[in-house]
Amino acid sequence: MRERRLAMFEEIDLKREYTLDEEISIKAEIDELGDRFAQLQQRLKKAGIPVIIAFEGWSASGKGSLIGKLLKYLDPRGVKMYSITSPSDEESRKPYMNRFWMKIPGRGEIAIFDRSWYHDWMTSGKESHSKDIEVFERQLTDDAYVIFKFFLHITKKEQSKRLNELEASKATKWRVSAHDWKQNKAYAVCKEEYDFMLEKTNFEYAGWNVISGMERDVALKEVLETVVKRLEKLCRKVEKDGIHSIEGRGIPVSKMDFELVRKPLIQDVSLDCTLSEKEYHKRLDKLQDKLLKLSYKLYKKKIPLIICYEGWDAAGKGGNIKRMVSCFDARDYDVNPVAAPDSYEKARQYLWRFQKNLPKTGHIAVFDRTWYGRVMVERLEGFNTETEWKRAYNEINEFEQELMDWGAIVVKFWLQIDKDEQLARFRERENNPAKQWKITDEDWRNRDKWDKYEVAVNDMIKYTSTKDAPWHIIESNNKYYARIKAIETVVDAIESRLS
Amino acid sequence: MRERRLAMFEEIDLKREYTLDEEISIKAEIDELGDRFAQLQQRLKKAGIPVIIAFEGWSASGKGSLIGKLLKYLDPRGVKMYSITSPSDEESRKPYMNRFWMKIPGRGEIAIFDRSWYHDWMTSGKESHSKDIEVFERQLTDDAYVIFKFFLHITKKEQSKRLNELEASKATKWRVSAHDWKQNKAYAVCKEEYDFMLEKTNFEYAGWNVISGMERDVALKEVLETVVKRLEKLCRKVEKDGIHSIEGRGIPVSKMDFELVRKPLIQDVSLDCTLSEKEYHKRLDKLQDKLLKLSYKLYKKKIPLIICYEGWDAAGKGGNIKRMVSCFDARDYDVNPVAAPDSYEKARQYLWRFQKNLPKTGHIAVFDRTWYGRVMVERLEGFNTETEWKRAYNEINEFEQELMDWGAIVVKFWLQIDKDEQLARFRERENNPAKQWKITDEDWRNRDKWDKYEVAVNDMIKYTSTKDAPWHIIESNNKYYARIKAIETVVDAIESRLS
């Protein structure tokens, strides 16, 4: 975490007064900056730059009305405004950052937040989700998102004056809460906490702008100035050198802060393991009972379970998943097949579509193919750049770590078969009318790239087998053996969590 | 509403007992039907038939375990299972049917419901949302959706026996609620209520199958038999004659049950109305204050407001919307630009994507283009069939009626300009670098079809100007006049609701 130090609140002069001439000149500047902001919106759209503007600050510091004024410059079709309050029931059953991930803008769009992912920290006054916040802001800015964070600062006296004014009018009385007065009473303590928050999260890629909220016009001018100048510079850069020119390189595998577990190369795994049909059915029956009971315990303890399937084409993912989920109560799980992203998904950071399908607490999500497409098919087919897939190992480890910190059990399977077995299965599919839908030209094309995929898979297993979410290589030449091993692995993972 | 009479509960023999031989033969039938069900899933996918299977019934009638067994035959990648309980906070702020609309399957997919949109009716024992249910089931089946509705029936004695058994085991005790016992005690009354519900909603296009739940295997066999036989027949038909062959014709405009308001033909509307810039700003300032205050009242009273914009290209929708929303608190509204549907949206009934963007109670949604695309661009570009757009007038009226029954205010604008004014604006856009992004080849192509569009627009206004949600034709040759008139219209609509 690189930070640049700023005297956060200390540099801000809340006592500054303005002459009439100055006020007139500020209004003129606002008009001029507003025009530029309006024009910028079309350039951002064309350049495909996604922009997030977040406002935090003291209660009654004027966030709402400032945002209202900003919005007037913009075409409402390319901007979304989110007012953040406490999470809904549904949202509190997802990881803390999930509801903010869900709100990230698409490329070329603007999202404005009235309060933000700092909500818990601001309301509790205690450090809250700082690691998750850092990951969120870094991963997005690495992906060419531009994040502005404004903190509107006013004095204790001004705050109490404004709260009193709001309370005096029938139309605005409801906007003042007990929390607002509490904050005003504990102003000095809060200020110290907020200063700590601002310093701690003043990242190079997403720094804070602390702005005086004492004079509304001055605040608006400063916000516009900050946003317009930076965005104009970025637009010029992207118009010249393309969107990738404003991306970050992220954290390379050599600098990852994860303890990795060593796994064999997939081609070195012996695939001789077999199981007879009779033995298979006997063990499956027992395991199904066991896993069903364990899944009820997860449900009661509100522990989410996430099972990830990757593997060669025709390795038997479908059949394996079918037996896995037959162990669960139908009300508890979802299977998420992952195909190519649609246009809405493509317009967002690649993890967005997986954040969208996370299970609720106590529920189970099975992913049939996963976010690892980023370092496999996308890498090999050139759907992303080298910078992108190289930083994805760390991003994915961070993503899974966040899931586990939230309480999830994450189990990842690589279904391994050898090249001969794949050929035999492809042939069988072609010859069996009931299975022909399972085989496409793309499968054959992927097969031609077997060796390249092998490299990518080994890289993936090497760099993302973290201590708490290692890859499990499932020997799948024999489907019976593979299914039992996968279920047993999940049983082990749950039991070790529950014990 | 066409119904066919059935002796609902009366025809079901709950006393029937089975010999060992019969039981063995039932098991064999289940195996055979299960295989056919598994194969059908692939045919449905190819044929693009979306299937909904809903289960209702007495508590402890075995819905959950029956669904679990059904799922085992299916590839989990093409099926979603939903367990319906009470709506979440978020869901209760949308129309009753909205959470079910959100769960409809895509073409070729299967959705299974453990309890369904009959939830309120079943738990309250009182007729609930019957009109909305009828519309939901009819609109979907008209759109080639296949809906199965099963009601699992058991005797009072059997129910109390099962509830006792569930309570006796530590592992299942939690599944029995006070409501379950209440239902058992009031069995006779409930039965009468349920019979009324089943008869009343036993639509020709989505009839009920009342099934004995006394013997689990028998129930499974009957469900499989019903589903497999009907789906096989439908697959054959679609494979031969295409998906449209199983669509319904819906309700034609001549048979709509809506009171319509007469409006002039758009070409007969005089466009001379103007407003000076000075007068515009004066009136806009006043109206903005007024509308902001009204919008707070809507917020407090939890009344949703839906504003729909349609109009010729370059009629000034964007600018009009911008001034409209500048009247609202930024936290209260969303602007939804409507472009061509993406692949996920295309796979669903066309109203799905608008259901998705409905406002919460007390909030405001502005649609920049709307569901009326169905009877304009889709009709004229041949993106749908004549049957589809012809039944859409009634479908849309029903959709809006449901919104209004829920409590929403619906205001619809057609922004009218003449052909000369459009040409002048196109030219100005081409010549103004800041506005060039606003004009595309498609705009010129649409202009060539002006006369055809005129016919479609007049049809639309004629058939969907319902008494409570008529079209407002906004004379827009003068933008100032148009903006003021639109805002005044919304002010009137809110005031007349609040009075």
* pLDDT tens column, B252-306: 999 999 999 999 999 999 999 999 999 999 999 999 999 999 999 999 999 999 9
Torsion sign across C-alpha atoms A394, A396, A399, A404: negative
At residue A173 the predicted structure's pLDDT band, cuts being 50, 70 and 90, is confident
What confidence tier does B25 reach under pLDDT thresholds 50, 70, 90? very high
**Would you call B322 and A72 a contact, using CB atoms and an 8 Å cutoff?**
yes
Tell me, yes or no, if B334 comes closer than 8 A to chain A by beta carbon: yes
Name the residue type at position B137: E
Nearest CA in chain B to A70: B330
pLDDT single digits (tens) A229-240: 999 999 999 999
Q: Tell me, what's the pLDDT at B2?
A: 41
Whether the CB of A326 is below 8 Å from some CB of chain B: the reply is yes
pLDDT of residue A366: 97
**If pLDDT is split at 50, 70 and 90, which confidence band does B435 have?**
confident
> Does A293 contact chain B (CB < 8 Å)?
yes
Residue B3 reports pLDDT greater than 50 = no
Verify whether the Cβ–Cβ distance B330 to A77 is below 8 Å.
no
Judge whether A342 is closer than 8 Å to chain B, CB to CB: yes
What's the pLDDT score for residue B6?
45
- Hey, of A71, A281, A361, which one would you mutate to test binding to chain B, going by the most B CBs within 10 A of its CB? A71
Residues B151-169: tens digit of each pLDDT: 999 999 999 999 999 999 8
The DSSP output letter for A258 is -
Q: What would the pLDDT profile of B211-257 be if each residue is shown by its tens digit? A: 999 999 999 999 999 999 999 999 999 999 999 999 999 999 999 99
Nearest residue of A to residue B84, measured between CA atoms: A331
Residue A236 CB contacts under 8 Å (≥ 6 apart), including other chains: none
At the fourth CATH level, which superfamily is domain A255-498? P-loop containing nucleotide triphosphate hydrolases (3.40.50.300)
Q: What does the H/E/C string look like for A412-429?
A: EEEEECCHHHHHHHHHHH
| Residues B50 and B145: beta-carbon distance below 8 Å | yes
CA B114 vs CA A283, B75, B94, B119, B416: distances in Å? 30, 18, 21, 10, 49
Band the pLDDT of A211: cuts 50, 70, 90.
very high
Q: Is the CB of B331 less than 8 angstroms away from the CB of A114?
A: yes
Q: What is the pLDDT of residue A171?
A: 76
Cβ-contact B368, B338 below 8 angstroms: yes
Of A46, A293, A321, the CB nearest to B76: A321
A436-452 tens-digit pLDDT: 888 888 899 999 999 99
Does any CB of chain A come closer than 8 Å to the CB of residue B337? yes
Which pLDDT value is given to residue B7?
Answer: 64
In chain A, residues with a C-beta closer than 8 Å to the C-beta of B326 are: 71-72
Interface membership of B175 toward A (CB under 8 Å): no
ipTM for the whole complex: 0.75
* Contact assignment for B114 to A72 by CB distance below 8 Å: no
Phi, psi (rounded to 5 degrees) for B473: -85, 120
Please answer yes or no on whether B326 and A72 come within 8 Å at the CB atom.
yes
pLDDT of A1 above 50: no
Is residue A5 pLDDT above 70, yes or no? no
CA-based nearest residue in chain B for residue A342: B343
What pLDDT, on the 0 to 100 scale, is given for residue B289? 93
How high is the pLDDT of residue A61?
96
Give, in degrees to the nearest 5, the angle at Cα A20 between A15 and A21.
Answer: 110
Delimiting residues of CATH 3.40.50.300 domain(s) in chain B: 20-246, 254-498
Chain A hits for B45, CB-CB cut-off 8 Å, are 437
At A7 the pLDDT is: 64
Q: Would you state the pLDDT for residue A81? A: 93
- Specify the pLDDT at position B60: 96
Q: Looking at chain A, which residues constitute the CATH 3.40.50.300 domain(s)?
A: 20-246, 255-498
User: Predicted confidence band at B1 (pLDDT cuts at 50, 70, 90)?
Assistant: very low
**pLDDT value of residue B5:** 45
pLDDT, tens only, A394-441: 999 999 999 999 999 999 999 999 999 999 999 999 888 778 888 888
Domain B20-246, classified CATH 3.40.50.300, yes or no: yes
- Work out the average pLDDT over B67-92: 91
Which one of A114, A330, A337 has the shortest CB-CB distance to B67?
A: A330
Tell me the mean pLDDT in the region A320-334: 92
Closest CA to A203 of A413, A483, A1, A470: A1
Give me the phi and psi of A425, to 5 degrees please: -70, -40
CATH class for domain B254-498? alpha beta
> What value does the mean pLDDT take over residues A28-33?
96
Q: Give percent helix, percent strand, percent coil of chain A, each to the nearest 5.
A: 55, 15, 30
- Residues of A with Cβ-Cβ distance to B337 under 8 angstroms: 77-78
